[in-house]
Structures are given as C-alpha cells and as structure tokens.
Amino acid sequence: MVDEQPHMMQWFFCRSILLRSPWYAMCFVIMTVIVGCTHNTNLTRSNINHPPNIPLIHAKQVNLHIFHIAGSPLPKDAIQHAVNRYQHNIAGQLNLIFYPPIFSDVSPQSITQYQMQMAISYLMSKVDHPTAPSIFLLFTPDIDDFRSRAQYTTPVVTNTKQNITLRTNYIVFNAKNIKQMARELPFTSLDRTWELVIYHEMCHALGLPYDKSHSTQTGSNHCTNTNCILYNGIDPHSLVATIFNLGPPSDLCRTCRTELNEVIHQKPTPLLEGHIDPPYAQYDRLIAVNRNSPEPYHLRYHEHINHLDWTRALHDIELAYYFTTTPSDIITIHLIQLLTTCPDPALRDPQTALDIALKLCDRSNHEQSYHLELAAAAAAQAGQYDQAIDLQKRANRLSHD
C-alpha cells in the first residue's frame, strides 16, 4: 500500500509556509487551480475499458529477464527498489534473472532502434520460455532515434516446437532520454528517476488503469491523475503537481490501487502455476468488459485473420460493424473486403458487401476512389457487371484527377 507518512509531512511543511506569507498562500491557490482535482481534463480519454492482466497478477511466479547493451548503464539499485515496490502489486513472487551484456562487439552509438527491436526478438527466441509470465527489460545506451524514455510492448511469443503462445511483456529503456528527464524533474535525482521510470513501465504490465473514466488513449494506456505513477510524461499539470508534492508520483493513485486490489483479492487458491494464456484470452477479457464497443471485436478480428480462422473473423467484424455508433471507415472496409473476397467461398456475401459499400460511398460523397473500387469489386462478385464497370470507371477518373 502507499505510504501516507511522506504526504502528511509535505502537508505540514506546506502549511507552515502558507501561514507565514500571504504571497505563498496566493501561489498555493493558483497552483491548486492549475492542477485542478489532480486530473488533467485536457487529455483524450479512452473509449474502452482495459482488463487487468490476470495471468500475471495471479501467477505463482513472474520471471523478470534483465538484459543490457554493452556500454549502457545497468541501474541495479533502481531495479531492485522498483521490484521491491512492484512485489506488492502481484500475488506471487518475482524472480530476477540477469544476463551478460549484448552487442559487445558493436559501438553503442551506432545501434539503431531497428537493431534494438531485432535484438529483443532474438533474445526472446533464445530464452527458454517458462510457462510463468515473463517481463523482459532491455537497457540501452544513448540511442538518438529512440525518442521515448522507455517503451512497453506486449508481443505474442510462440514456441513452435511445443505449440505454446505466451503474452510476454517487454520494456526498452533509453539512458539518454532518462537522463534528460532527471534534469527536467525537480526534487529528483538520476537514480530516483531510473527507479520511477522502471516502476512506471512495469505497472503497464498490470493492465492498469482499468476503467475508461480515468484512462487515456494516447499510445499506451495511462492514468489521467497527475499524482499517479502511470500518468503520461511531463507537462505543465504534472510539473505543478510535482512541485506541490515536493517530488514526482512514486506509486499508483488511489483509483488504480483500488482496481488492482479488487483483482488481487480475487486470486485463486492455489495461485496459477504453469498457466498458459490461450491465444485469444486477452481479447476475450477485453470484450467481457466492453460488450457494446466495436474496438475489442475489431482487435480480435485481426487475431482471427492472422490464424486464418475466417468464420470467427467474419463473426467479429460483423459485431464490430453492428456496435459502431459513429461511422468507422476502417471497420466498414474490412467487413466489405471479407464479404467480397473471403478465402472460404461459403462465407462470401457479395450482395451485402455491395449494399454496405454503396453506403460507404454515400458517406464520402462518392469522392473516395478506393471506396468506389470496393463497391466495384463487390458488384462484380455479385454478378452485376454493368454496375461494376461504371463504379470502376468513376474510381479511375478520381484516381487520375
């Protein structure tokens, strides 16, 4: 749980200053107005709920694989402090595994972000994947084309020999940008900045924030509360909150903590051991908390397409189209394409595809050549060749213009 004592000390410190000077009192009021209710209301909120990462939170053991590129810092003390804090967020135990440096024969300054991504794929393929959830940490030197301080990703790792699919979280840290952040943050040392960034990225693996009422859709899922470790980056709101609290946030806000505690208290007995997340489990959980939202069905549709499961793909894209309250061109296009050219002829319905395509053309005032081409293909599949030729000619004229 969050230690309340530092916050009480900060309050008494601020109170003693405010009582001595009206000028400080006025500044206090201005800062409070700027911060608002510790939320940045200017952030674009997420339109879907994000389910917590139950396989990781309820796992008996979570493996932390720690790599670093030769020449880059490996802040072991910061890692240990972040891990000690993170241990309270999961039901099982964290197991740290350190590896020798990689890219020892390459100049750190010559490494690109693409090479770094390839290194991650290589490392994950070489590590003997346990069935326990894993988090990969890769510490990099000053890479110029890596703009983020750190990057959290949840790829699917497949062991083809045993036909196992795991959700493996990996995080890449850029030393250059973290040093820059330490210079920008008041009341914060470089070691403390490393600890906060590591802990922030690891908290992403928990699947927080869960409720869309306080989560953003700006890239990775972030909390709108400036006093939360999962707040996204440095902006005027977070800087004022940092000054007001005599330091940046060091843990989850009360709302995120409540969401996490609700999941932890539901832990099974015994804890999950040797648990393998089925290929579609993460999308099933996403849909379970967003029954009437099109985005989760659209995400699962892509997964079915990747596995050549045309029947389930069609089912999900039709549901995504059905639950779309405001027109979505991309969902509509994917539905038209599958109904027109599905590799399984039994699932094709070119007449329905044509009807939907013509509505799409109406929405764009017949000024989008690709929409007309989709309608032309559907008309041809439906045997309406004169209409198909007319639509294709109109599309060609738009493309030429």
CATH of the domain at 382: 1.25.40.10
Q: Say if residue 110 is in the same domain as residue 255.
A: yes
Q: Indicate whether 63 and 30 sit together in one domain.
A: no
Pick the last residue of a domain from 214, 241, 262. Answer: 262
Q: In this structure, is residue 43 part of a structural domain?
A: no
The mean pLDDT of 328-338, rounded to a whole number, is 92
Q: Assess if residue 272 is contained within a domain.
A: no
If asked whether residues 9 and 58 sit together in one domain, one would say no
Mark whether 217 and 251 lie in a shared domain: yes
Condensed to tens digits (0 to 9), the pLDDT of residues 130-150 reads 556 788 888 887 765 555 556
Question: Burial, 59: exposed, middle or buried (Cβ in 10 Å; 0-12, 13-18, 19+)?
Answer: buried
Residues 219, 343: one domain?
A: no
Helices 329-341, 294-306: axis angle to 10 degrees equals 40
* Residue 76 located in a structural domain: yes
Structure tokens at 234: 């440095």
Please state the domain count of the chain. 3
| pLDDT at 296 (0 to 100) | 85
In this structure, is residue 287 part of a structural domain?
no
Q: Residue 35: which of 190, 218, 249 has the closest Cα?
A: 249
Same-domain pairing of 90 and 163: yes
Q: Which tops the pLDDT comparison, 233 or 277?
A: 233
Note down the domain range covering 13. 5-35
Specify whether 225 is located in the same domain as 328: no
Q: What is the CATH number of the domain that holds 133?
A: 3.40.390.10
In a domain, 280, yes or no: no
Contact between residue 157 and residue 128 where contact means Cβ atoms under 8 Å apart: no
Does residue 209 share a domain with residue 72?
yes
| Same domain assignment for residues 69 and 166 | yes
What tens digit of pLDDT does each residue of 193-227 get?
999 999 998 998 888 888 888 888 655 678 989 89
Query: Does 83 reside within a domain?
Result: yes
Read off the pLDDT of residues 309-326 as tens digits, 9 standing for 90 and up.
Answer: 999 999 999 999 999 887
Do 253 and 391 sit in the same domain of this protein?
no
Which pLDDT does position 26 carry in this prediction? 47
SS (H, E, C) 231-248: ECCCCHHHHHHHHHCCCC
pLDDT in tens, 19-48: 455 554 445 444 444 444 344 545 566 677
Average pLDDT over residues 94-112: 77
Q: Is residue 132 part of a domain?
A: yes
Supply the mean pLDDT for the chain.
79
In this structure, the answer to whether residues 242 and 142 fall within a common structural domain is yes
The answer on 255 and 174 residing in a single domain is: yes
